[in-house]
Amino acid sequence: MITVDDQELEWFEGMTVTDLLERIGHQGPCAVVRVNETHVSRPRFDETPVPDGAEVYLIPMIAGG
């Protein structure tokens, strides 16, 4: 089990950030997610595994700077 924006989500072996976003049916802009303590950017979503028990937050990165 992992949490995504504080909601629980079933985890599976080999899950990547892209899989996770598909699972939750994410639509809006999302350039960065934080997986535990690490910020992961969109170009790395496909290659970045999400470990079991991870705390994940979606970070839109549309404002800031």
Q: Which chain residues interact with another protein by CB under 8 A?
A: 5-6, 28-29, 31-32, 34, 37-39, 41-44, 57, 59-65
Cβ distance 18 to 47 under 8 Å? no
Residue 49 DSSP one-character state: B
| Rounded least distance, CB 34 to another protein, Å | 7
Is the CB of 12 or the CB of 29 nearer to another protein? 29
Q: Is 34 exposed, middle or buried (0-12, 13-18, 19+ CB in 10 A)?
A: middle
| Rounded least distance, CB 13 to another protein, Å | 25
